[in-house]
Chains A and B, each alone.
Chain A
Amino acid sequence: MDTLLDIDQLRTYFFTEAGVVKAVDGVSLKVARGETHGLVGESGSGKSVTALSTLRIVPKPGKIVGGSIIFDGKDIIALKDKEIRSMRGKSIAIVFQDPMSSLNPLFTIENQICEIIRLHKGVSKAEARDSARHLLEMVGIPEAERRLKSYPHELSGGMKQRIAIARALSCEPQLLFADEPTTNLDVTIQAQVLDLMKSLKKELNMTLVMITHDMGIIAEMTERVTVLYAGQVYEACDTLTLFAKPKHPYTEALLKAVPRLDRKKELTSVPGNIPNLIEPPPGCRFHPRCPYAVQVCREKVPVLEEAGPGHLVACHRWRELGLSGA
């Protein structure tokens, strides 16, 4: 496997006044070149912070306190500020969740796309403008020439998200994080944006990390999945296996919470809430919500074990439980 991104035992903590929030607490994850990788988990499970850590733009008071991030052979954490800055947007890019606020309201679309192109490529204004128009056409915006002159408030949410994608792709990054790119869009637009990302990924030969809590998007888009819970990896395998034979009770609970047409059973949600990350529960962090929890779960922290080829799971009881997939 040609690994593009190798995160090992990453720990990113937020030093708040209430205490140290361990948002990412020992996450390990490998993303192969060219694959679409899913990062799934509830809100607050550390998906976004993992992505922000990779770009080294964790907002204050957050800080990467341990672990390593190797991207394309480079140790991200050891890079100088200037070096990592020149990689952002050029080698690694990210599309954020809220298209409404991820564009500066004061500048035209042209202005905002050209800025990034000129920053990283140092081309002339006219060349940057040409690529900006080409980008808008590529992300399927009609009347690109006219839209270049528009301000963000003149565009719909779907269009803004396309612009945000165009901006992220403007320097043809090797790795693109999509941080819940469709959460704030309505369903028909969601489908369009997902299709767009799929085709762009193929066209530009990128590696894509989809961050989402929507199992439907995982099934639709990804080849491999990492399930995060409370800042830790609980299961990682290829998408088909995850849906067919989940090994972790949390994955099973997530799958049960997906509405399906062919199943008449009542839709269940995962009981309880994500734990307090200042003082996480001892042992397995999922045990207070886990229907299969026994004494050992409350006392011992489970480690990631190989449950099959390329299938990692962190659960004391994965061998004995016969969990149902979707």
Chain B
Amino acid sequence: MSGTSGEAGSQTAEVKAPAKVKPRRSATQAAVTWRRFRRNKSALIGLTIVSAFLLLGVFGPFFAAYPPRSTASLFLGQAHEPPSWAHPFGTEPTGVDVFSDSIWATRNDLYVGIVATLIATALGVAIGAVAGYARPSISTAVLGVIQVFFVIPVLLLILLFARLFLLEVVAGWGLTLIVLILGLFGWSGIAFVVRGEIFRVKELEFVQAEKALGASNFRILFRHIVPNILTPIIVLATLGVAGNIITEVVISFLGFGDPNTATWGLLIDDGFRYVNTYWWVSFFPGLMCVILVLGFNLLGDGLSDALNPRLRE
């Protein structure tokens, strides 16, 4: 009996099923990309590293034992101590807890890397788009501007600006100043690539079809062409974050950063003078920086492979 009723039940289920079947949706670009990305081990490692650091940067400071640049340990007689349970990364001679400051620095460096890259990418796409799509006279002029920004030594400019403004004008806003400078001077690479890609895509027939149907140049450019060139932009932006973090470390290490804001570069600089005796002060922040930059590079390479339509498995 039970067998029969079970069969009847499954039959009704089978009859009903087709009515409920949703229209089949084919794999979206995102799903295809994720499938290829998943198979790439180094890409997954990169993604894991970047995610871990993002979590650390967002939530870590809530668990940090000391506020940033705190010299509290000095008064507990715990300055220049090697790594221990109380101070996993040791302390500086000034009493700064390297572990807590490294966590604060993670947040600060991610902020610099990501926001500066967002600014640079937005500028690079907009300027590259004009250079790739405007009429020849404008296009050539914009290309000239891109080339100028491409050859100016950004690091020197940053050091100059930092020296000019950091201490007097924008005290307390040092990181934001660095973000702005990195963003405003670091877009030329993306602009070059965007310009080239637009040259390729604007000759495709659907662009002319859009024009023939009455779409404006602005709509064609930003709604139809730019979405078609997102792949290199995403990859370049991912790699750009790593580059911007390194630049921030260099700035702070050279002593041009904000001495009151915890960043990895500042910690490395702190420890650099007595690296023979108190090696941990420079070592741990440096290690974190290397791992995160490696993570972004692996992620960028992985994305570039996964998003590349010419690499078929």
Q: Chain B 12-39 against A: per-residue CB contact (8 Å), 1 yes, 0 no?
A: 0000000000010110010000000000
Q: Are A86 and B214 touching (Cβ within 8 A)?
A: yes
Identity of the chain A residue whose Cβ is nearest the Cβ of B207 in the assembled complex? A104
* 8 A Cβ contacts from B184-216 to A: 204-206, 208-216
Does the CB pair A106–B228 fall under 8 Å?
A: yes
Residues A102-121 near B (CB distance < 8 A): 102-106, 115-116, 119-120
Is the CB of A98 closer than 8 A to any CB of chain B? yes
> Size class of A's contact patch?
20 to 34
B153 at the interface (CB under 8 A from A): no
| Minimal Cβ-Cβ distance residue in A for B224 | A104
A129 CB to closest chain B CB (Å) equals 15
- B3 contact set on A, CB distance < 8 A: none
> Is the C-beta of A167 less than 8 angstroms from some C-beta in chain B?
yes
Is there a chain B Cβ closer than 8 Å to A156's Cβ? no
**A89 in contact with B214 (CB, 8 Å):** yes
Please name all residues of chain B whose beta carbon is closer than 8 Å to the beta carbon of A94 when the two chains form the complex. Answer: 209, 212
CB distance from A155 to the nearest CB of B (A): 11
Q: Is A135 an interface residue (CB 8 A)?
A: no
Task: State whether A59 and B214 are in contact (beta carbons under 8 Å apart), knowing that A104-B228, A106-B227, A149-B25 are contacts in the complex.
Answer: no
- How would residues 231 to 245 of chain A score, 1 for a CB under 8 Å from any chain B CB and 0 otherwise? 000000000000000
Check B214–A88 contact: CB distance below 8 A. yes
> Closest CB-CB distance, A259 to chain B, in whole Å?
29
Interchain CB contact under 8 A, B212 and A88: yes
CA A87 – CA B23 in complex, angstroms? 37
Mark contacts of A148-184 with chain B using CB atoms, 8 A cut-off: 1 yes-contact digit, 0 otherwise. 0111001000000000100110000000000000000
Q: How large is the interface on B (under 10, 10 to 19, 20 to 34, 35 or more residues)?
A: 20 to 34
Residue of A nearest to B208 (CB): A57
Do A88 and B228 contact each other (CB < 8 Å), given the known contacts A101-B204, A103-B206? no
Q: In residues 208-245 of chain B, which contact A (Cβ within 8 Å)? A: 208-216, 219, 224, 227-228
Which residue, of B136, B208, B212, has the highest number of chain A Cβ atoms within 10 A?
B212
Question: In angstroms, how far is the closest chain A Cβ from the Cβ of B309?
Answer: 10
Q: Which residues of A contact B206 (CB under 8 A)?
A: 101-105
- Which B residues from 26 to 63 make CB contacts under 8 A with A? 26, 29
**B213 touching A96 by the CB < 8 A rule?**
no
The answer on a CB contact under 8 Å between A96 and B25 is: no
A195 nearest CB across to chain B (Å): 23
Contact partner of B215 (CB less than 8 A), chosen from A119, A150, A168, is A119
Q: Could you tell me the distance between the alpha carbons of A196 and B213 in the complex, rounded to whole angstroms?
A: 20
Q: Which residues of B contact A151 (CB under 8 A)?
A: 26
Contacting pair A164 B227 (CB below 8 A): no
Cβ-based interface call for A263 (8 A)? no
Which one, A96, A167, A168, contacts B208 given CB within 8 A? Answer: A96
Q: Are B214 and A96 in contact (CB under 8 A)?
A: no
CA distance A90 to B36 in the complex (A): 43
In the complex, whether A85 has a CB less than 8 A from a CB of chain B is yes
Q: Is A31 an interface residue (CB 8 A)?
A: no
A146 and B23 CA atoms in complex are apart in Å by 7
Q: Which has the most chain A C-beta neighbours within 10 Å: B26, B206, B211?
A: B206
Residues in B whose Cβ lies below 8 Å from that of A59: 208
Nearest chain-A residue to B216 (Cβ)?
Answer: A85
Q: Is the CB of B213 within 8 A of A116?
A: yes
Known contacts A98-B205, A104-B206, A87 near B26 by CB under 8 Å? no
Q: Is the CB of A120 within 8 A of B209?
A: no
Is the Cβ of B214 less than 8 Å from the Cβ of A116? yes
The chain B residue with its CB closest to the CB of A152 is B206
A98 to B208, CA, bound (A): 12
List the B side residues contacting A106 at CB < 8 Å: 29, 227-228
B209 and A85 form a contact (CB under 8 A) = no
* Residues B228 and A55 in contact, CB atoms below 8 Å apart: no
Q: Which residue of A lies closest to B135 (CB)?
A: A60
Given contacts A104-B224, A104-B228, A149-B23, contact A167 B213 (CB under 8 A): yes
Query: Would you call A103 and B212 a contact (CB within 8 A)?
Result: no
When the two chains form the complex, which single residue of B205, B212, B216 contacts A101, counting CB atoms closer than 8 Å?
A: B205
Q: Is the CB of B211 within 8 A of A88?
A: yes
A139 within 8 A of B: no
Cβ of A93 within 8 Å of any chain B Cβ, yes or no, is yes
Q: Looking at the assembled complex, report how far the CB atom of B220 sits from the nearest CB atom of chain A, in whole angstroms.
A: 10
Provide the residues of chain B in CB contact with A115, threshold 8 Å: 215
Nearest-Cβ distance from residue A130 to partner chain B, whole angstroms: 18
- Is A85 a contact partner of B214 (Cβ separation < 8 A)? yes
In the complex, what's the smallest C-beta–C-beta distance from A43 to chain B, in angstroms? 16
Q: How far is the CB of A317 from chain B (nearest CB, A)?
A: 40
| Chain B residue at smallest Cβ distance from A164 | B209
A88-B211, A96-B209, A150-B26 given; 12 more Cβ-contact pairs under 8 Å = A59-B208, A88-B212, A89-B212, A90-B214, A96-B212, A101-B204, A102-B209, A105-B206, A106-B29, A116-B213, A146-B23, A167-B209
Q: Could you list some 30 contacts between A and B, CB below 8 A?
A: A57-B211, A59-B208, A60-B136, A86-B214, A88-B211, A88-B212, A88-B213, A89-B213, A89-B214, A93-B212, A94-B209, A96-B209, A96-B212, A101-B205, A101-B206, A102-B205, A103-B206, A104-B210, A104-B228, A106-B228, A116-B213, A116-B214, A119-B215, A119-B219, A149-B25, A150-B26, A151-B26, A167-B209, A167-B213, A168-B213
Enumerate the 6 nearest inter-chain pairs by beta-carbon distance, A residue then B residue, closest first. Answer: A89-B213, A89-B214, A88-B214, A101-B205, A102-B209, A146-B23
